[in-house]
């Protein structure tokens, strides 16, 4: 039995973070019903932004967040469309949304409006900036709320350079797992109390939490952003190799590992060098840039494969700075099911899996997305509507059936 089997989730979400949380619940066995407005989730056309194919029969940009769901289209501006929505909620265990609070209030779908009607419902809300404060109703995406306001751009940049250009949804996918964990805890607690709860996760808060080390240490003078030429611990750094690739060395016990590193990179003449061998002293006299320049010059004489073997053979954590295409050939990725292959009209395509593995759960069935409204009629039948009522609601535009993607 899958962990979420028997759980019904109503998904009123768009774009990436919140719908991905529902995707994860679906992979764990939940029955996820995605509700879209008549014009559809704009995530269906984000393939144009991601630089990839987006069609009803091949849309991995939408699949990333919406696999393992059923698709219903409701016009929540009509009384009958809202009636169907409430029938869904009456039968649901979880309601996931990223609609801003002020809009939910207008529709009567906010937590305060729903908690008395559906006391066992777990209400999961993904927000940009949180429930309070001057930005609580401000529009936001992961680039603005997570990467920018959350400090990721300003902290992870090499000092003096432009902020990095992340892959789309970098923060969204991290937030999705936070939201899924909160939903799981709320469902567990409901078994003890008999009552649902409200869970909220904001992109802004999640980013600050992920940057905890920087946030805490900055108040002690360890300020960001940093230049790679002046980092406190030179053996925690990235280096360019002879073949114009990058590796990341992570040897945080500098005093212990300094001599080993110098020997391995061909600079045994610097073993026990009094200016360089002690981290506190090195920072006191400000010679970080000197030893990093020495390491740069030495490591640049090796290819990436050579320096990785040297460090790994000597139990020093070091990794290649992979690009996405490198991952397609990574034996470690496939050995651990970090990606899977989906059958698409254009051939087999790679997609990342969610990182939580259950010993009792085999590889999930990955059911790709379908056209919006594909399941409207069948879900309405389950809710007790007969054919005549469904036809009436379709005719008046309260609900919509299968609809081809509009570009």
Residue 361 has pLDDT above 90, yes or no: no
Which residue in 172, 197, 257, 375 is the catalytic one?
172
Rounded Cα distance between 314 and 123, Å, is 51
Residue 239, domain member (yes or no): no
Where would I find the H helices in 42-196? 47-50, 60-66, 79-90, 101-107, 111-114, 152-156, 170-193
Domain membership flag for residue 226: no
Listed residue (322, 130, 101) closest to 209, CA to CA: 130
**What three-state secondary structure class fits 262?**
helix
- Pair (43, 150) in one structural domain: yes
At 335, list the tokens. Answer: 């050995």
Instruction: Note down the domain range covering 275.
Output: 246-320
Q: Are residues 197 and 341 in the same domain?
A: yes
- Last residue of some domain: 260, 288, 320? 320
Whether residues 22 and 95 fall in one domain? yes
Helix axis angle, 79-90 to 387-396, nearest 10° = 130
* Whether residues 362 and 391 fall in one domain: yes
Query: Is residue 220 in some structural domain?
Result: no
Do 358 and 304 lie in one domain? The reply is: no
Half-sphere exposure at residue 272, Cβ-oriented, CA atoms within 13 angstroms = 0
Condensed to tens digits (0 to 9), the pLDDT of residues 35-60 reads 999 999 999 999 999 999 999 999 99
How big is the CA angle at 247 (ends 242 and 248), to the nearest 5 degrees? 150
Tell me: do 250 and 165 sit in the same domain: no
> How far is the C-alpha of 302 from the C-alpha of 240, rounded, in Å?
9
Statement to judge: residues 102 and 205 lie in one domain: yes
Is residue 233 in some structural domain?
no
Alpha-carbon gap, residue 304 to 242, rounded angstroms? 7
Q: How many domains does the structure of the chain reveal?
A: 2
Partners of 36 in the β-ladder? 73
Residues 347 and 312 reside in one and the same domain: no
Task: Answer whether residue 1 is part of any domain.
Answer: no
Mean pLDDT of the chain: 97
Dihedral (CA of 188, 20, 178, 321) sign: positive
CATH of the domain at 185: 3.40.50.10540
- Average of per-residue pLDDT across 206-213: 97
The Cα–Cα gap between 172 and 17 comes to: 4
Does residue 43 form part of some domain?
Answer: yes
Give yes or no: residues 312 and 269 share one domain. yes
Q: d(Cα 66, Cα 14) in Å, to the nearest integer?
A: 10
Alpha carbons 116 and 139: distance in angstroms, whole number: 28
In sequence order, what DSSP letters do the residues of 134-151 get, joined into one string? Answer: TTTT----IIIIIIIITS
Give the per-residue pLDDT at 85.
Answer: 98
Point out which residues pair with 31 in neighbouring strands: 8
The Cα-based distances of 140 to 39, 143, 150, 172, 362 in angstroms read 20, 8, 12, 11, 37
Q: What is the Cα–Cα distance from 3 to 29, expressed in whole angstroms?
A: 6
pLDDT tens digit string along 291-304?
999 999 999 999 99
Angle at alpha carbon of residue 391, lines to 387 and 393, rounded to 5°: 120
Q: Average pLDDT, stretch 209-223?
A: 95
User: Are both 46 and 146 inside the same structural domain?
Assistant: yes
Shared domain for 166 and 205, answered yes or no, is: yes
List, for residues 54-87, the tens digit of each pLDDT value: 999 999 999 999 999 999 999 999 999 999 999 9
Q: The domain that contains 275 carries what CATH number?
A: 3.30.1540.10
Q: Is 175 exposed, middle or buried (0-12, 13-18, 19+ CB in 10 A)?
A: buried
Average pLDDT over residues 284-290: 97
Tokens for 385?
């509507």
Question: Which of 291, 320, 349 represents a domain boundary (last residue)?
Answer: 320
Q: What percent of the chain has pLDDT over 90?
A: 97
- Pair (101, 65) in one structural domain: yes
Is residue 407 domain-resident? Answer: no
Residues 125-162 have pLDDT tens digits of 999 999 999 999 999 999 999 999 999 999 999 999 99
- 112 catalytic residue (yes or no): no
């Amino acid at each position: 039995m899958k962990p979420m089997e028997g759980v019904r989730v109503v998904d009123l979400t768009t774009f990436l973070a919140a719908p991905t949380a529902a995707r994860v619940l679906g992979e764990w066995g939940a029955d996820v019903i995605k509700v879209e407005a008549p014009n559809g989730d704009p995530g269906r056309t984000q393939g144009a932004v991601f630089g990839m194919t987006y069609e009803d029969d091949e849309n991995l940009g939408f699949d990333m967040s919406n696999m393992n769901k059923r698709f219903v289209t409701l016009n929540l501006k009509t009384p009958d469309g809202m009636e169907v929505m409430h029938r869904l909620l009456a039968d649901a265990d979880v309601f996931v949304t990223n609609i801003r609070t002020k809009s939910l209030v207008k529709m009567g779908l906010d937590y305060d409006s729903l908690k008395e009607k559906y006391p066992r419902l777990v209400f999961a809300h993904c927000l940009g900036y949180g429930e309070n404060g001057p930005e609580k109703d401000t529009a936001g995406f992961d680039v603005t709320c997570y990467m920018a306001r959350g400090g990721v751009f300003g902290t992870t940049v090499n000092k003096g350079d432009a902020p990095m250009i992340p892959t789309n949804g970098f923060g969204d996918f991290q937030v999705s797992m936070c939201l899924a964990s909160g939903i799981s805890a709320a469902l567990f607690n409901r078994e003890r109390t008999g009552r649902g709860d409200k869970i909220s996760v904001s992109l802004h808060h999640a980013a600050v939490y992920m940057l905890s080390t920087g946030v805490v240490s900055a108040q002690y003078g360890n300020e960001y952003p940093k230049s790679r030429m002046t980092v406190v611990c030179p053996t925690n750094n990235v280096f360019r190799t002879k073949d114009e690739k990058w590796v990341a060395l992570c040897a945080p016990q500098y005093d212990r590992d300094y001599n080993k590193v110098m020997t391995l990179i061909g600079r045994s003449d610097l073993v026990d060098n009094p200016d360089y061998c002690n981290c506190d002293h090195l920072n006191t006299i400000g010679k970080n840039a000197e030893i990093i320049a020495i390491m740069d010059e030495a490591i640049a004489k090796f290819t990436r494969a050579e320096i990785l073997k040297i460090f790994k053979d000597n139990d020093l954590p070091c990794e290649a700075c992979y690009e996405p295409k490198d991952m397609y050939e990574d034996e470690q990725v496939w050995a651990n099911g970090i990606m899977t292959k989906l059958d698409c009209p254009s051939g087999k395509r790679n997609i990342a899996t969610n990182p939580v593995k259950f010993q009792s759960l085999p590889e999930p069935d990955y059911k790709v997305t379908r056209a919006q409204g594909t399941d409207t009629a069948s879900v309405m039948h389950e809710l007790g509507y007969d054919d005549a009522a469904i036809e009436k609601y379709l005719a008046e535009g309260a609900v919509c059936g299968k609809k081809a993607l509009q570009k």
